[in-house]
Structure 1
Amino acid sequence: MSTAHAYYPSASLPISMPQKPGYYQPHPQLGYGRVSVSPPSAPESVTTSGVASYEPSATSSSYAGSASDYDSSASTGGVDLIDYMGDRLHGAFNPMPLDRSLAKQAQTSGELNAKHRELLELQALAQRRLAGARANFADGMRAAKEVQKDLQWTQKRVDALNDRAARKYPQEFKSAQSRYPAPVDY
């Protein structure tokens, strides 16, 4: 009877990371550095299609670990891989330009929203003024029509009075008309 073991990865498993002097040295200002050890070179006899390849020999030291190095049940006091990668990422990534960009974007967005609200307020004010101007124009047109009606009625009354005076007093009317001529109509 074979027993199958289920593999449930934990949040972080400590594994032994090889630590060689001079391999990883953090840069004091940037937080990360370059590899100061050159990669191993392959012997010139080992090539595939003209390109050199690397075949690790039994005598050369290798970074590959054995299965026992990665056994989760083994108690090792090694480096936590998640913490290690988090530290590397934290050291390699400089969030200051991104933070400045986000702050500038938030500031610009706030200014744009303020201008948009100001524009909406000005638009509402212009609409209120336009409505007031239209009401004033309508009142002015109504008053002008009333004045025109009154002037037409008054002109008819004056014409009727002139006709009656010309018929009743023709001699006096002619002398008065010569002394006081009627205004020219435009």
Structure 2
Amino acid sequence: MSAHYAYYTASQPINMPQKPGYYQPPHHGYSRVSVSPPEAPESVTTSGVPSYEPSATSSSYAGSASDYDSSASTAGVDLIEYMGDRMHGAFDPMPLDRSLAKQAQTSGELNAKHRELLELQALAQRRLAGARANFADGMRTAKEVQKDLQWTQKRVDSLNERAARKYPEQYKYAQQKYPAPVDY
């Protein structure tokens, strides 16, 4: 089975015929320059209706140029205040304030729990250290008791041997009357 490969090339700009007076960008690389349409001579008048005809040389985007005359309409308006009022009217900060308050509250609770966990961990470490010290002390004591018991057992065994040699009849009678305990 043979594999068929399709080779695709990047799209290239198409040369379109342009009217005289328009800027023609160079077609090397990917640089494009945005150019506004040419200005109309002041002797030309239009009806003020948006037009997309190349002959309508006033603003072909949204009406006549007088629509954008900002000196007459914004003379007494503070633009920053106006935009602030518009933003204030469009933006309700209450949900953001509530979420920030909830986030701060949750952060505080997490911080308190984290500190509580650290305190409990420190307490557990102290208790563990105390338990280890007590265990080590108990082991030392148990070894000392074991040594003492071994010495005492040897001493009792030696006394029993001497008593059995020196007083055999009384020793035999005492063993029958008080038998030795059974080791488990």
Which runs of structure 2 are paired with 1:5-84 in the superposition (5 Å)? Answer: 55=51, 65-66=65-66, 69-70=69-70, 77-84=75-82
Partner amino acid, structure 2, of 1:156: K
Q: 1:161 to 1:64 in 2, by over 3 A?
A: farther
Q: 1:96 to 1:76 in 2, by over 3 A?
A: closer
Partner amino acid, structure 2, of 1:92: A
Q: Deviations over 1:3-48 (max 9, x none)?
A: xxxxxxxxxxxxxxxxxxxxxxxxxxxxxxxxxxxxxxx9xxxxxx
Deviation for aligned residue 1:112: 0.6
Deviation for aligned residue 1:117: 0.4
Partner amino acid, structure 2, of 1:69: D
Q: 1:144 to 1:64 in 2, by over 3 A?
A: farther
Partner Cα separation in structure 2 for residue 78 and residue 64 of structure 1: 23
Deviation for aligned residue 1:63: 6.5
Aligned match of 1:94 in 92, 95, 99? 92
Deviation for aligned residue 1:70: 4.1
Percent identical residues: 79
Partner amino acid, structure 2, of 1:158: V
Q: 1:153 to 1:86 in 2, by over 3 A?
A: same
Task: Give the gaps of 5 or more residues in structure 2.
Answer: 1-48
Partner amino acid, structure 2, of 1:167: R
Partner Cα separation in structure 2 for residue 85 and residue 64 of structure 1: 25
Deviation for aligned residue 1:156: 0.3
In structure 1, the partner of 2:176 is: 178
Q: 1:76 to 1:155 in 2, by over 3 A?
A: closer
In structure 2, the partner of 1:153 is: 151
Q: Deviations over 1:52-71 (max 9, x none)?
A: xx63899xxx7654498246
- Does residue 168 (structure 1) correspond to residue 166 (structure 2)? The answer is yes
Deviation for aligned residue 1:108: 0.6
Partner Cα separation in structure 1 for residue 98 and residue 87 of structure 2: 19
Deviation for aligned residue 1:126: 0.8
Deviation for aligned residue 1:172: 1.2
Report the RMSD for the aligned CA atoms in angstroms: 2.8
Aligned length: 129
Higher relative contact order (CA 8 A, sep 6+): 1
Deviates more, 1:174-183 or 1:161-170: 161-170
Name the SS of the counterpart of 2:146 in structure 1: helix
TM-score w.r.t. structure 2 length?
A: 0.62
TM-score w.r.t. structure 1 length?
A: 0.61
Partner Cα separation in structure 2 for residue 170 and residue 155 of structure 1: 21
Q: 1:169 to 1:76 in 2, by over 3 A?
A: closer
In structure 1, the partner of 2:41 is: none
